[in-house]
Amino acid sequence: MTMTAPASAPDRSPLTPPTAAPARRRRRTTTSRIGWAYASPTAALVLSLFVVPIGIVFFMSGSDWSLLGGNQGTNFPENFTQVLAHRQFWPSVRFTLLYTVIATVLLIGLGLGLALVVQVTSRWSGLLRTAFLLPTALGLASASLLFYALYSPQVGPVSRWLEQLGLTEGVVSILGSPAGALWGTVFLIVWRFAGFYMLLLLVGLQNIPGDVYEAAKLDGARAWQTFRSITLPLLRPSLALSTIMCVTGSLLAFDQFYILTKGGPDSSTMTVVQLIYNLAFESKRDLGMAAALSVITLLALVVVNVFQLRAMRGSSES
């Protein structure tokens, strides 16, 4: 739903009468003034709480700006070099990328699987859709708190299940080891978002015309062949959109790690956005460095998305 807004919007009021030129011009300036009047709440919000803050963050990233002391003059490019040299910078980048790959592969894979399961129209699949979608109505913070209790060895059942399955020695704290913290968080995210990607891919599935399948059936194609050479290629736009959304969301992961692991154990699950928060409010209390990392994150995200959009366009042309 990003950049492909309907470009053929009606650019001219239908009321412009074919009269003399000055009258038409006057009418046109009036309509454009009315248009601006209607757009002004949007413009005011976007300007004051989006454009100006973006400007400020660039300014802050070049300033010596502590949380309590405020602006203390220029500090360019030290904020950036300090961030790049920070001992948690590269580990957080590496962890964020690892998490993004795992979350995206699982969410898109499971989302596609669920979409295939519920695509038939029946009462039962309607119920299934509701069940899979229900977690998406929860807030990410509520869901994280829920799983925090679910994973706790004191009150939650999961630790005991893992022991009974022989996966752990005794009842251990799931979030207590780096691998457990990562996979525990991944499971939470898959639970919370799988229904969302199911829905996106379901739209794509339903847009594939039925006669294509008919033709394949007449040609004697097997189910797997049909899936691989018809469903997947025709689903590409939906898959690409889902992937872009999932990658962007995962690269910016914050709430789930802040609540479940606080970046631990031993900073092993520190994401980039968590490091921004940490630099600003916890370890350094340095808004300049936090702003510098925010700018780096913004630029990286723009590059990643331009790359993804280009790959998507390339694949839909071929």
Partner 1 sequence: MNARTSRLGFRTPYYVLTAGLAIVFLYPLIWTTVSSVSPQAGSAQVEGLGFNNYATLASYQAGLPHYLGNSLAISLVTVAVTLLAATFGGYAFARFSFPGKNALFLVTLSILMVPYATLLIPLTIWLKMLGLNNTLVGVGLVLAVFQLPFATFMMRISFEGVPKEIEEAAKMDGCGSFGALRRVLVHAVKPGLITIGLFAFLAAWNDFMVPLFLVGGENQPLPLALVNMRQQVMGVIDYGSTQAGVVVLTIPCVLLFLLLQRHYVNGFMSGALKG
Residues 242-281 that bind partner 1 (CB under 8 A): 252, 254-255, 258-259, 273, 276-277, 280
DSSP structural state of residue 135: G
Tokens linked to 88: 């948690």
Among 39, 212, 223, 311, binds partner 1 (CB under 8 A): 39
Size of the site for partner 1 (CB under 8 A): 97
Q: Kindly report the CA angle at 100 between 87 and 255, in degrees rounded to 5?
A: 75
Phi, psi of 74 (to 5 degrees): -70, 145
Binding mask 129-168 for partner 1 (x = CB under 8 A): -xxxxxx-xxxxxx--xxxxxx-x-xx-x-----------
Q: Taking a C-beta distance cutoff of 8 angstroms, is the pair 282, 88 a contact?
A: no
Q: According to the binding rule CB under 8 A, does residue 128 interact with partner 1? A: yes
Nearer Cβ to partner 1, position 72 or 229?
72
Nearer Cβ to partner 1, position 4 or 19?
4
DSSP structural state of residue 286: B
Q: How far is the CB of 168 from partner 1 (least distance, A)?
A: 20
Contact region with partner 1 (CB under 8 A), list: 72-80, 96-104, 210-218, 284-292:
284-292
Nearest to 266 by CA among 141, 83, 95: 95
In the chain the first and final C-alpha atoms are separated, in Å, by 22
What burial class does residue 95 get, using C-beta atoms within 10 Å of its C-beta: 0-12 exposed, 13-18 middle, 19+ buried? Answer: buried
Among 23, 25, 26, 43, binds partner 1 (CB under 8 A): 43
Q: According to the binding rule CB under 8 A, does residue 72 interact with partner 1? A: no
Letter string b/e over residues 207-235, b meaning 16 or more CB atoms within 10 A of that residue's CB = ebeeeeeeebeeeebeeeebeeebbeebb
47 alpha-carbon distance from chain centroid: 24
Contact region with partner 1 (CB under 8 A), list: 34-42, 166-174, 178-186, 219-227:
34-42
Q: According to the binding rule CB under 8 A, does residue 227 interact with partner 1? A: no
Q: According to the binding rule CB under 8 A, does residue 294 interact with partner 1? A: yes
Nearest to 252 by CA among 112, 120, 140: 140
Nearer Cβ to partner 1, position 19 or 229?
19
Q: How far is the CB of 109 from partner 1 (least distance, A)?
A: 14
Nearer Cβ to partner 1, position 57 or 102?
57
Q: According to the binding rule CB under 8 A, does residue 69 interact with partner 1? A: no
Among 31, 168, 268, 308, binds partner 1 (CB under 8 A): 31
